Amino acid sequence: MTALLTVAAVILLKLFALGLIRIYQGPSESDRILAVQLSGTTTVGILVLLSHVLAMPALIYVALLFVLFAALIGVAFVRHPGIGSSS
């Protein structure tokens, strides 16, 4: 079971590397931030797998933090922090 989960984590990491192509190529800003969100989701998946493989339950909290901050990053991308209305 552990071997299977390790293989799954390696595959997810390689998918993360593939997602980097979209982050690098873009072309638009939204493409890039969505690719970041995708890599964040992949990282959450890897962390959940690692918490089981390495027997470190605390990694679930790290995954939880990434989920929370992924939403915050999305808001920070669309909102202007200063005055006036923003799109």
Partner 1 sequence: MTLFDSVLALLIAILAWRSVTAPDLYRGIVLFITLGLMLALSWARLDAPDLALAEAAIGAGLLGILLLSTWRVLQRAAPRQGSDEPASYAVRWLAVVGSTVFGGTVAVALYGLQVGSDRAGAEALASLDLAGIDQPVTAVLLNFRSYDTLLEMGVLLMALIGALLIRSPLAYEPWHGDTAVESPLMSVLAKVFTPIVVLVGIFLVWAGAYGPGGAFQGGAVLAGAGVLLLLCRRLYGDADATLLLRGLLVLGVTAFIVIGLLLMPWQGAFLAYPPGLVYVLLVVIEFSLAVSIALSLLLLFTGTHAVRAVRS
List contacts with partner 1 (CB under 8 A).
6, 9-10, 13-14, 16-17, 20, 23-24, 26, 29, 32-33, 35-36, 39-40, 43, 46-47, 50, 53-54, 56-59, 61-62, 64-66, 68-69, 71-73, 75-77, 79-83, 85-86
The nearer residue to partner 1, 1 or 86, going by C-beta atoms, is 86
- Of the candidates 11, 7, 31, 6, the one whose C-alpha atom is nearest the C-alpha of residue 20 is 31
- Answer yes or no: are the C-beta atoms of 63 and 47 closer than 8 Å: yes
DSSP character at residue 16:
H
Q: How far is the CB of 19 from partner 1 (least distance, A)?
A: 9
17: its two tokens: 């590397």
